[in-house]
Copies of this chain bind each other. A is one copy, B any other.
Amino acid sequence: MNFMNSSLVFFGAGKSKICAGCTVALETLATLLAEPGDVFLIPAPYYSSFVDDINERAGVLALGVPCDETLSRDAFEQAYERVTGEGKRVRAVLFSSPNNPIGTVYKEEAIRSLLDFAMEHDLDVISDEIYAQTVFDPEAHFVSTMRLVPDAYRHRVHVTSSFAKDFVLSGFRTGMCFSFNPDIIQGFASITYYSSVSSHTQSLLTALLKEPELGEIMELSRKRLGKAYRIFSRGLAEMGIPMMKAQAGIFVMADLSEYMEKQEFSAEQVLWDKIYNELMLNISPGGLFGCERPGWFRACYAFDEDTVEEACRRLQMLKK
């Protein structure tokens, strides 16, 4: 994966495993690292399915840690105190880098702060880098968590990814785990017998990664993402809708609270219903992602220009 060299460390043989999607990679890590009832801390807002991915089979509990893009330690320390005070064990920190839903590309200092916290408390770190190739903001600089961890702690950090987002191949169900921990790699080899990827699909994806034009294609993809983001954020700005600045991914968080009758999470559902059924736009209420304050919604802008412009026109109808 030459085009990834700028961001990822080199993973040789025996340091990665594939399985039927990133969901499985996260579920497998939860199974291998924790006992049912253990807790993973996750910076909030977080990808809502993280909660199910680690809980449904592995029984691990997700706890959102409200924090900004600096991932400062105070919030994590407080969450850690709370969990251990309840007699539960914190086993790992799980975060998406770049972040879904807020689209942040974490700065090195932010990731180092999280790593310091994890090392201090003897926690593993799962860095889900499924959006690593979608960074469209020229000012953002993505660095894999694996590059920032001190060598002595490298076996405690596990990176997951997939072809679903970077390559827009979500149906291909091909996820990966990269780890320098041989026990984790061996555990994957055993468990993912139940979620193997077809050799037919592996063959196509191998050819894709060897394609000389891939770098240019990915660059084009990022340019288009950036353009769609600019159209959509301009549309929101024209309506006076506050939003979080995104630098990567396919989503933006927009504050639609002024269109809610009450500043309560139940009102998010009412507004969602109106937007879905009247405007026929499908955006997701922030309560799903562990937002602290009601009124945030996650919108996907990864469409062609006409579709994004049409979405902006429809959102204008909220003003009536």
Contact = CB atoms under 8 A, between A and B. Distances in A.
Contacts of A199: 171-173
Interface in A171-189: 171-174
Contact of A198 (B24, B173, B193): B173
Main secondary structure of the interface of A (DSSP, over half): helix
A27 interface: yes
Most buried by B among A27, A194, A204: A194
Contact of A194 (B172, B195, B198): B195
B195 A195 contact: yes
Nearest to A169: B200
Contacts of A171: 198-200
Interface residues of A, number: 20
A11 to B, nearest CB: 22
B197 A24 contact: no
Contact of A195 (B20, B174, B201, B204): B20
A221 to B, nearest CB: 19
A313 interface: no
Contacts of A196: 20-21, 173, 195
Interface in A184-222: 193-201, 204
Interface string A15-29: 000001101100100
Interface string A159-176: 000000000000111100
Nearest to A190: B56
A260 B23 CA distance: 50
A195 B57 CA distance: 13
Interface of A: 20-21, 23-24, 27, 57, 171-174, 193-201, 204
When A and B form their complex, which 3 residue pairs have the shortest distance between CB atoms, in order from nearest? A171-B199, A198-B201, A195-B195
Given A20-B195, A23-B193, A24-B195, 18 more contacts: A20-B20, A20-B194, A20-B196, A20-B198, A21-B194, A27-B194, A57-B194, A172-B200, A173-B197, A173-B198, A174-B198, A195-B196, A197-B198, A198-B200, A198-B201, A200-B200, A200-B201, A201-B201
14 contacts: A20-B20, A20-B194, A20-B195, A20-B196, A20-B197, A24-B194, A27-B194, A172-B199, A173-B196, A174-B198, A197-B198, A198-B198, A200-B204, A201-B201
